[in-house]
Each structure stands twice: as C-alpha cells, then as structure tokens.
C-alpha cells in the first residue's frame, strides 16, 4: 500500500465521518439496526478507519447514508442535506475507485517473463470464404467461423461461479481432451462478461519460457471486478 493510496482512503473515510457527526454520532450498532443489517459493525469500523484495501462498494455507502438519515430522523436531529447528496457520493465513489486502481497499476508487481496480460480481444467471427484456401483454419476457436451454439448449462455454471459471493479472488479450471470446445466456451464467457456486466476482461498470453525477455512485463491492475482468461494450448 502506497502513501498516495492511503491518503485517498483516509480522505474518503473523513468524508463519511463528517456525515456520522452530522447525524449525531450514532453508535455502530445503531447504524446496523437502522440499515436493516445491510452491513456489520466490523465493516463500519474498517471503512471509517480507512483500513479497507479494495474500493468501498457503493451498496455500503448508500446503506450508511440511509442509516444515518434514519437515525437522525428518529432522534429529531436536523441534517445538512448537502452531505447526503447521492450524486455527489457517486462521484466520490467513482473517483476513489479510479484512483486506487490507477495507483495499483502504477505500482503493480512484475509478472513472470513468460507471461503478459492484456485486454481480451473482441471476437473476429471470420466468414467461411476467408479461409477457403486454408481449411484447417475453419476449426480455430479464434476465428469463430461457426456460430456458438449449445453449452448453455456449462456457460450458466461458469457465470454462477463468476457471480458468486466469496473470496476476493477465485479460480476455476476447464479441462477436457483437445477439440472439445474449451477455448470457445471460455471466449464466450469473456464476451458475455464484457458486454453484459461491465467487468474488465483480460487474457494471459504465454511467451517462450526458453528465451525469457530481459525485462519482465508489468502485470496491469486487473480492477475490482475482473475476469482473467488463460487459454493453455
């Protein structure tokens, strides 16, 4: 964690504390009750003490503001309404997220020389005529000559894994004999993720392990919601 990252966290936490003071300094337990238990006292302490690592989720901010508002209303405390402006807080949340991700990228740990990470490419979907003189290319998952069909159950299981609540990072493995459609299925998941969820989608590319580059490439900050696909040949 860099000094700049910590400064961004502390500035955001101080803005939330200003809301807390304006509402009459309710206890963490009171906030949990007025939020309908949408967060815990531990989570409040982590955020207000700027001890969070990942950017604070918008759902927490919205619930925190609502809980302070309800507590103040219950105790006849006049609020400074400007402090509760959701549009202002959305801008603050966006800035915090972008700053932390940018600083993470600038201070990223070098990846092994045999790997690079870059944005997952858009599907090319080449027509059959393109490969008339190279029929072997018709089978390439990269060209997507044949439209994707079936595999609904497999795709649904992968999307459930992607969207499940759990660890900060999760790994799943697709395995089958060659030619069974693993790469095409992974590409379909990547495409759906990029177009329907707003997540960042990356691919891991393999270099030659026998002739590593002298300077290892930098691993980009993947982002808070990201999918990294590694299609091993």
* 71 three-class SS: helix
Taking each continuous run of H as one helix and of E as one strand, the counts in the chain are: 7, 3
From residue 230, alpha-carbon distances to 4, 122, 151, 172, 221 in Å are 32, 15, 20, 11, 16
Name the DSSP letter for residue 38.
Answer: S
Nearest to 80 by CA among 65, 62, 61, 95: 65
Q: What are phi and psi of 229, to 5 degrees?
A: -110, 130
Q: Does the predicted TM-score (pTM) go above 0.85?
A: no
Over residues 114-165, the pLDDT tens digits come to 667 777 777 666 665 665 666 555 556 565 666 666 778 888 888 888 877 6
Average pLDDT, rounded, for the chain: 78
Over residues 28-56, the pLDDT tens digits come to 999 999 999 999 999 999 999 999 888 88
C-alpha span between 35 and 144 (Å, rounded): 49
């Amino acid at each position: 964690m860099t000094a700049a990252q910590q400064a961004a966290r502390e500035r955001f936490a101080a803005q939330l504390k200003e809301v807390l003071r304006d509402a009459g300094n309710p206890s963490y337990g009171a906030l949990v009750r007025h939020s309908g238990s949408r967060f815990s006292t531990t989570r409040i302490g982590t955020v207000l003490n700027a001890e969070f690592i990942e950017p604070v989720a918008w759902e927490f901010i919205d619930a925190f503001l609502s809980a302070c508002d309800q507590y103040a209303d219950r105790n006849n405390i006049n609020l400074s309404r400007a402090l509760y402006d959701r549009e202002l807080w959305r801008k603050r949340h966006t800035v915090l997220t972008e700053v932390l991700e940018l600083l993470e990228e600038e201070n990223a740990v070098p990846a092994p020389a045999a790997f690079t990470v870059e944005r997952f490419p858009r599907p090319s979907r080449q027509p059959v005529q393109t490969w008339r003189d190279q029929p072997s290319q018709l089978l390439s998952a990269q060209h997507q000559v044949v439209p994707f069909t079936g595999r609904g159950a497999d795709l649904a299981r992968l999307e459930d894994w992607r969207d499940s609540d759990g660890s900060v990072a999760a790994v799943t493995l697709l395995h089958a004999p060659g030619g069974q459609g693993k790469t095409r299925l992974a590409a379909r998941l990547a495409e759906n993720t990029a177009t329907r969820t707003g997540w960042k989608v990356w691919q891991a590319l393999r270099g030659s392990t026998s002739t590593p580059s002298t300077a290892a490439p930098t691993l980009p900050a993947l982002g808070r919601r990201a999918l990294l696909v590694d299609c091993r040949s």
